[in-house]
Amino acid sequence: MKPLPAFLAAAKDLLGPKGWTDDPEKRLAASTPWRGSYQGDTPFIARPASTAEAAALVKLCVQHNIAITPQGGNTGLVDGGTPHGEVCVSMTRMTAVREVDPFNNSMTIEAGATLVSAQETADAANRLFPLSLGSQGTATLGGLISTNAGGVAVLRYGMMRDLILGLEVVLPSGEIWDGLSGLRKNNTGYDLKHLFAGAEGTLGLITAATFKLFPKVQRATAWVIVATAEDVVKLLALVRDHAGDSVTSFEIIPANAVAMVAADIPGTRDPLPANAEWRVLVEISQPRAEQAEALLTSALEAGAEAGLVQDAAIAASDTQAKSFWHIRETIPLSKRAYGTALNQDISVPISRIPAFIKACNAAVRAIVPLAEFVIFGHVGDGNLHYSVVEPAGSGDRVLKAHEAAVTHCVFETVTAFGGSISAEHGVGRLKRDELARLRPPAATEAMRAIKKALDPQNIMNPGRVISV
Ligand SMILES: Cc1cc2nc3c(=O)[nH]c(=O)nc-3n(C[C@H](O)[C@H](O)[C@H](O)COP(=O)(O)OP(=O)(O)OC[C@H]3O[C@@H](n4cnc5c(N)ncnc54)[C@H](O)[C@@H]3O)c2cc1C
């Protein structure tokens, strides 16, 4: 849809010289996703500086029937925030901290602020904002809410949905819904904020949010060698029995990923070379460092006694803990250096992870006999990043030729194991049609009815999540 000159003139007038651009390089950057795996386009980038401006812009879009794609840091992985012909509404000028209330354990920040800046705001108030993930320097709060992002501390603190107390949203009509609130108890009918968490910009433009804050904690981190996926699952249960809710992260990393990272990323090395197939990154948090370390040590001793821990290194410093995490967080980057990889972000019940890995690998190898796998992620949440990588020496040919069959086979196996084909990255355009096929028809119809009721003109991020 090409915007009419009348719309462009009115939008420029509304937003002022700093509030828009049609510079070709900026349009190209906004239309190119992080992975660079496809190319979108946009005629115009709007950059509202306030909720009032954002609302007036949406009203203008309604008037001229112009579709928009909200965009934060453009780090999404499902083709949700990259425009495909829509006007791009970049939220990156709306970064103000509106309120921090350490006694209510809450803070209100505008949607274009990055996750790192939100963590720093909480820290300055002697509080913790616990969401943490690899893209946190660029991903924005609006994008993280819209994708209901997960990350590495979900085990203890939940996903983004669990961390919001209230929202301010410009609805597709251009009306502002002020749902900002620091209340933890508020049973007054439908809880609208949960509609917008995970809606990927299809139901409105999030302009600000009130978040939960937590007491600051000290962490103890260990790099653990484990023989089998069965042992990984048993170790998770044992560590949780031992340390309860203080287990903050429990990440699984295969030996081949460690080798990839060590070969690709300068300055990284395997912290504890071993022949075993799996490593686990465990983090325990407590108010005091010595409590965290004591709990982690005794949990790992119990794991060793049970024959689940082959070897382990507890980080002796923050720097060493960061070097463990650096390996985990650079797996996606180093994987990109290896030609074609078919990446899926899936979840299955934790107890079924070992059987799922065996069944799915076998099913994929029935299609591509020499396929290799890099399987890592948030095993404590049942969430695996399951990647099929090109057989060594085959260039880019083999997987590309079988991409559709391999993807279908992974999704079918996930479904057979009672899992989800999108654990934390969302739906976007990438998984929209597969989800329409796999989810119960009644759910799709209910979602479609909500979308049509709120956005009858289908101007908010059309074609993402659900087709209408
Ligand atoms: C290296 C790397 C690591 C990652 N690790 C994780 C991880 O561990 N866990 C995880 O969950 N994700 C992860 N991601 C995915 C990504 O960072 C998240 O999806 C993030 O939430 C997107 O934020 P963003 O600001 O970049 O949003 P964008 O990519 O700009 O947009 C994402 C979606 O939100 C919508 N949107 C953006 N802002 C708004 C707004 N203000 N109002 C309404 N809709 C809006 C967009 O239209 C789009 O549909 C990772 C990505 C990378 C590149």
Query: What is the residue with the minimal CA distance to atom 36 of ligand 1?
Result: 143
How much of the chain, in percent, has pLDDT values that exceed 90?
90
Predicted pLDDT at 341: 85
pLDDT band at 332 (very low <50, low <70, confident <90, very high): confident
Q: Rounded to the nearest whole angstrom, what is the distance from the C-alpha of residue 253 to the centroid of ligand 1?
A: 23
pTM summary value:
0.95
Residue 3: is its pLDDT beyond 80?
Answer: no
Query: From the CB of residue 13, how many other CB atoms can be counted at a distance below 10 Å?
Result: 11
Taking the alpha carbons of 231, 235, 241, 245 in that order, is the dihedral positive or negative?
A: negative
Could you tell me if the CB of 81 is within 6 A of ligand 1? yes
Which domains are delineated in the chain?
5-90 (3.30.43.10), 97-215 (3.30.465.10), 218-332 (3.30.70.2190), 338-416 (3.30.70.2740)
Q: Rounded to the nearest whole angstrom, what is the distance from the C-alpha of residue 326 to the centroid of ligand 1?
A: 20
Q: Which residue, 308, 295, 153, is CA-closest to 225?
A: 308
How much of the chain, in percent, has pLDDT values that exceed 70?
97
Between CA 66 and CA 122 the distance in angstroms is: 38
Own/partner contacts of 237-245, CB < 8 Å, gap of 24 or more, are 238/299, 238/302, 238/303, 238/306, 238/308, 239/282, 239/284, 239/299, 239/300, 239/303, 242/295, 242/298, 242/299, 242/302, 243/284, 243/295, 243/296, 243/299, 245/156
**Mind listing the pLDDT tens digit for each residue in 197-240?**
999 999 999 999 999 999 999 999 999 999 999 999 999 999 99
Cα 121-125-129 angle, rounded to 5 deg: 55
**Mind listing the pLDDT tens digit for each residue in 278-297?**
999 999 999 999 999 999 99
Q: Rounded to the nearest whole angstrom, what is the distance from the C-alpha of residue 148 to the centroid of ligand 1?
A: 8
Q: Rounded to the nearest whole angstrom, what is the distance from the C-alpha of residue 74 to the centroid of ligand 1?
A: 6
Predicted pLDDT at 337: 67
Q: Average pLDDT for residues 301-316, to the nearest whole number?
A: 97
Q: Rounded to the nearest whole angstrom, what is the distance from the C-alpha of residue 73 to the centroid of ligand 1?
A: 7
Q: Rounded to the nearest whole angstrom, what is the distance from the C-alpha of residue 246 to the centroid of ligand 1?
A: 27
Could you tell me if the CB of 202 is within 6 A of ligand 1? no
Q: Could you tell which of 42, 147, 157, 253 is best to mutate to test the pocket of ligand 1, judged by most ligand atoms within 8 Å of the CB? A: 147
Higher pLDDT, 4 or 321: 321
Residue 150: is its pLDDT beyond 60?
Answer: yes
Most confident of 23-27, 390-394, 397-401: 23-27
Query: What is the residue with the minimal CA distance to atom 8 of ligand 1?
Result: 151
Could you tell me if the CB of 425 is within 6 A of ligand 1? yes
Query: What is the residue with the minimal CA distance to atom 50 of ligand 1?
Result: 135
Q: Could you tell which of 45, 69, 114, 135 is best to mutate to test the pocket of ligand 1, judged by most ligand atoms within 8 Å of the CB? A: 135
Residue 326: is its pLDDT beyond 80?
Answer: yes
Q: Average pLDDT for residues 168-183, to the nearest whole number?
A: 98
Mean pLDDT of the chain, nearest integer: 95
Residue 12: is its pLDDT beyond 70?
Answer: yes
Predicted pLDDT at 75: 96
Which is the closest atom of ligand 1 to the Cα of 146? 34
Which is the closest atom of ligand 1 to the Cα of 150? 11
Q: Which residue, 111, 3, 201, is CA-closest to 11?
A: 3
**Mind listing the pLDDT tens digit for each residue in 343-372?**
999 999 999 999 999 999 999 999 999 999
**Mind listing the pLDDT tens digit for each residue in 68-91?**
999 999 999 999 999 999 999 999
Query: What is the residue with the minimal CA distance to atom 37 of ligand 1?
Result: 143
Query: What is the residue with the minimal CA distance to atom 20 of ligand 1?
Result: 144
Could you tell me if the CB of 82 is within 6 A of ligand 1? no
Could you tell me if the CB of 75 is within 6 A of ligand 1? yes
**Mind listing the pLDDT tens digit for each residue in 136-147?**
999 999 999 999
Could you tell me if the CB of 335 is within 6 A of ligand 1? no
Residue 437: is its pLDDT beyond 70?
Answer: yes
Could you tell me if the CB of 73 is within 6 A of ligand 1? yes
Predicted pLDDT at 288: 96
Q: Could you tell which of 50, 53, 75, 424 is best to mutate to test the pocket of ligand 1, judged by most ligand atoms within 8 Å of the CB? A: 75
Q: Rounded to the nearest whole angstrom, what is the distance from the C-alpha of residue 75 to the centroid of ligand 1?
A: 5
Reading phi first (left if > 0) and then psi (alpha if -120 to 50, else beta), residue 434 is in alpha
pLDDT band at 336 (very low <50, low <70, confident <90, very high): low
Residue 50: is its pLDDT beyond 90?
Answer: yes
